[in-house]
Structure 1
Amino acid sequence: MAYPAEGGPRKRPGGTARAALWTCGAVLLPGIAHLRAGRRAAGAGILGCFLLLAAAAVAAVRDLRGTLSWQAWLVTQPYWVEAVSAGSVALAALWSAVVVRSWQLTRPRPAGRGTRAVGALLLALLCTVLLLPSVLVVRTALTARATLSEVFAPAEPTRDTTAAADPWRGRSRINVLLLGGDAGENRYGLRTDTMIVASVEVDSGDTLLIGLPRNLENVPFPEGTALAERYPPPAGFDDLLNEVYQTVAEEPEELAVDPRAADPAADTLKLVIGEAIGVPIDYYALVDLRGFADLIDAVGGVVVPIEEPIRYGRRGNGLLEPGERRISGKEALWYGRSRTDSDDYTRMGRQGCLLKYVAEQADPVTVLRSFQALADAAQRTLDSDVPQSHLPALVDLAERVSTARMQTLQLSPPQVDTGHPDWEEIRTLVARALRDLDDHDPPAASARPQPSPRSPGRQVGDEPVSLDRLCP
């Protein structure tokens, strides 16, 4: 009886089927095939490293899963994005190498043509399965970086550690101008038919939505600006507020406050509206309404309670039936835009309600699950001057807003005459509304009776009203 020489090659255990099972097992627990083949030191080392990495990954996912601000911070750090991408590729390559070696250790010897064919197919399949997650990680990382570059302004360089920790620089309130641009193939330029200033209290997330009608006239321009010189009083600007953006966009070098801004027209409109209502506006976010539907579709639609039928479409032949229903992006767009059987001010109210519904329903899990589609839609339709370095703080703020009080103040009739607006009175209304929001113990709703609005979100009277009361 012949015995293998001392130190000679070990006999591979089992046949082709058993080797295939051990190789597949190495995908779930790398190193077990090495242990099976008698390579105890190598097998124990590989398995130990894998278990440590798995434990660290579980802990990291558990810590990051409920902390979107940390996720946002990681995405805004280029070196972290590159490190995660490179690490995922290296891990997949090492894991694949372990699987290939597992087959080599467990396959029968000598290997026939059938065994070699089975091994080739099996290894190709298993290595593909292991490489796909790393491809997804790299794609997600690159998409995140591209989205940040497309949507947000470059990070603000700062050596001030206090400013880095608190990008709001100790301010108690942040004001953001939300713009909906209504461009189209059959229209010249872009008109901001949706203009809402979101004034957010940093600590609580309490928010006042200040709606500005598109047809406000005689908008005052800040003194010393090119617009004020081009359109001096008493004649002033002879068009509607929604035309200011396009007016500046046509002559940015002559009319923009900062022609070097990424979007000189939006940057200038931010200053103009802030001056008009007496609220300094920190940032703007411009959404192309043609792509707004894509953003809603990316998160699976939004649930909207509808009390009365809403007709939409150029001929009013579309209909949103009453009831609580999940509407698509196209339907959400018309929910916020339709003026059929209503008016500009009614649809302004619905826009406020739509913002409320989206803020409440866009939970972190939904956002992460729909990340790729959301990122693609955002790159096509969204533009903002919020610096990338502010994104973690902005995510934190958005989470507070989703559970905080939300009020609306519509600068529309009867409280405002859009044809001849009293801008001093408008500033007074806005200042009073902000003071009311700062009062964390407001009077009971019954102490401020309001006439019933004709449509969800329609404010009647000059007092701000909770969207919880106005929206179904």
Structure 2
Amino acid sequence: MSDPAAGDPPLPSSRARRPTDRSQARPVRPASRTSDIRRLIAATASSIVPGSGQALNLRLRPALFFGLPTALIVLVAWLIAHSDRSAAVLARLISPEILGALLLLNVAVLLWRVLALFQAFSDRRYPGQPGRLGGVGLVALLAFTVVPHAAAWNAGSAAQEMFAEIFAGSTVRSVSGPLPEDRQRLNVLLIGVDSGPGRTEALTDSLIVVSLDPVGRTVSMVSIPRDLAGVPLGNGDTYGPKINSLMTFADLHPADFPAGGIRTLENAVGALLGIPIHAYATVDLTGFVAMVDAVGGVDIDVERPLADAKYGGFGVGPGWSVEPGRHHFDGANALAYARIRKSPGESDFTRAARQQQILVALRDRAVSVGVLVDLPILIRAVGSTVRTDLPADRLAQLAGLADQIGASSTVKVVLTSSMIRSGGSTKYGSVWLAVPSRIAAMTKVVFGPPGADPTWPVPVVPVPNPDAREAPTRAGRL
């Protein structure tokens, strides 16, 4: 048998002549999958921090284009969070006008993030078209990016609506009072309304005048007893029943009280104290509980033991008690501490002092927590129950003052036995009557000119006795 000719090429084997489809596909699929993963990593980075995905793709100019505005926004947010006047800045940011601008900024940031992630995903360094993994991952990433902005839009829109309700004043007709100049005292009547179960009408459970001095940076608080009767109305007339029924009575008789219930009450309190009442704020007791809970509770130094076996309501009871010492109260227990009055040795006067203590503690807590307060919960709590005729543009100014005024700059007064006297038992129940001269003396000090020290009670300076100074000398001569 002869060998093949020396010049003839060897015949290829059948295995070499038939390349399989498997061997052809191997280099394609892993490359596509790897490219999709790299695309998604870069896009995710730019979704979180625009510009970072471009940096991963080694694209300097796009990284700077998307990254510098992002860095500016982060810097501004950091400065706001670490500002010494964070409460004032936050109040300014959530005012209706600024809140509307922030909603538009929210949309702009969303579009910026989406543009950045698309640019990082479709960078030309990645060959070919993205595969199935890339497409599915891109859709999931878009949802991850859009959902927080949609939630922020809903929350911001709800906040706008609630602020419109809060600063629209009472739903019951009321005529607002004139506002003072920027450097004059602002006197606000805080009205705690008890309209809970078992009430046939809304009664003013607490009346507190809060006066803010922007020059001296002090706050004066004066509590009006709810059983005070015969109060002047500011027009020469007096209201015979208890003052806590005046607001509802005036609203039910518009022909006699055309200004409305709240303004009539403001005029009465202003005439009683001899000061103008510029604005009011009403809060329902349920809303008070929600506000305290929204700031994480309040810290209170309890001076005396309190116990009332019959107290109940708003999530507490039957029965409530507390021992002396420092306590952290949630909303329901803070309200119980502020309302209880049937404990031995307690009265409406001691209760009024505790209400002032709670208000100061609530202010301190809100300022100390600052921007960390659960703002959506707080806004919902305030929006559902608080009404005021204060202009919304004053919110930042008031928050700034609250940020700077401490407990040592807050003067608390309760109209008690030195300024009121017993009116005995009447058809309206046991009542108190005002002593105008004593109230006027207090008002002169507590609501003095802007910048004056509202110290109360007025310190008694002993008058030197010449005979007392000479006595030792005379004794020495004996």
Describe the superposition over 1:115-134 as per-residue Cα deviations: whole angstroms up to 9, x where unpaired: 41x33442233223322342
**Equivalent of 2:385 in 372, 381, 387:** 381
Whether 1:52 and 2:68 are equivalent positions in the alignment is yes
Matches within 5 A, 1:339-350: 339-341=341-343, 342-350=346-354
Aligned residue in 1 for 2:415: 411
Whether 1:137 and 2:137 are equivalent positions in the alignment is no
**Equivalent of 2:268 in 264, 267, 272:** 272
- Determine the C-alpha separation between the residues in 2 that align with 1:140 and 1:36: 34
Contact (CA 8 Å) 1:257, 1:267: kept in 2 or not?
Answer: no
Contact (CA 8 Å) 2:280, 2:389: kept in 1 or not?
Answer: yes
Whether 1:27 and 2:47 are equivalent positions in the alignment is yes
- Determine the C-alpha separation between the residues in 2 that align with 1:59 and 1:30: 14
| TM-score between the two structures when normalised by the length of structure 2 | 0.75
Amino acid at match of 1:285: A
Cα 1:343–1:437 shift into 2, 3 Å:
farther
Aligned residue in 1 for 2:445: 432
Amino acid at match of 2:256: L
Long gaps (5+) in structure 1? 1-10, 155-166, 229-235, 259-263, 450-472
Describe the superposition over 1:15-57 as per-residue Cα deviations: whole angstroms up to 9, x where unpaired: 44444333333334545656776xx7xx444321222112211
Describe the superposition over 1:371-418 as per-residue Cα deviations: whole angstroms up to 9, x where unpaired: 111110111110111011222222222223345511222112254215
- Determine the C-alpha separation between the residues in 1 that align with 2:409 and 2:334: 23
Contact (CA 8 Å) 1:302, 1:327: kept in 2 or not?
Answer: yes
RMSD value over aligned CA atoms? 3.2
3-state SS of 2:421 partner: coil
**Equivalent of 2:184 in 172, 176, 181:** 172
Whether 1:300 and 2:300 are equivalent positions in the alignment is no
Describe the superposition over 1:197-224 as per-residue Cα deviations: whole angstroms up to 9, x where unpaired: 1122112321221111000111112226
Amino acid at match of 1:174: L
- Determine the C-alpha separation between the residues in 2 that align with 1:412 and 1:128: 62
Amino acid at match of 1:148: F
- Determine the C-alpha separation between the residues in 1 that align with 2:441 and 2:378: 39
Cα 1:145–1:430 shift into 2, 3 Å:
same
* Range 204-213 or range 311-320, more displaced: 311-320
Contact (CA 8 Å) 1:359, 1:402: kept in 2 or not?
Answer: no
Number of equivalent positions: 402
**Equivalent of 1:421 in 424, 431, 434:** 434
Aligned residue in 2 for 1:210: 222
- Determine the C-alpha separation between the residues in 1 that align with 2:376 and 2:456: 44
Aligned residue in 2 for 1:73: 92
Percentage identity across paired residues of the two chains: 24
Q: Which has the larger radius of gyration?
A: 2
Describe the superposition over 1:70-101 as per-residue Cα deviations: whole angstroms up to 9, x where unpaired: 443344353x4333323322332342243245
Cα 1:110–1:127 shift into 2, 3 Å:
closer
Amino acid at match of 2:197: E
Cα 1:136–1:45 shift into 2, 3 Å:
farther
Amino acid at match of 1:377: A
Superposed displacement of residue 272, structure 1: 1.1
- Determine the C-alpha separation between the residues in 2 that align with 1:32 and 1:435: 59
Cα 1:395–1:24 shift into 2, 3 Å:
same
Contact (CA 8 Å) 1:29, 1:47: kept in 2 or not?
Answer: no
Contact (CA 8 Å) 2:51, 2:65: kept in 1 or not?
Answer: no
Whether 1:220 and 2:232 are equivalent positions in the alignment is yes
- Determine the C-alpha separation between the residues in 1 that align with 2:228 and 2:74: 55
Contact (CA 8 Å) 1:296, 1:328: kept in 2 or not?
Answer: yes
Aligned residue in 1 for 2:241: 239
* Range 179-188 or range 357-366, more displaced: 357-366
* Range 371-380 or range 195-204, more displaced: 195-204
Cα 1:33–1:206 shift into 2, 3 Å:
closer
3-state SS of 1:319 partner: strand
Contact (CA 8 Å) 1:204, 1:404: kept in 2 or not?
Answer: no
Contact (CA 8 Å) 1:99, 1:123: kept in 2 or not?
Answer: no
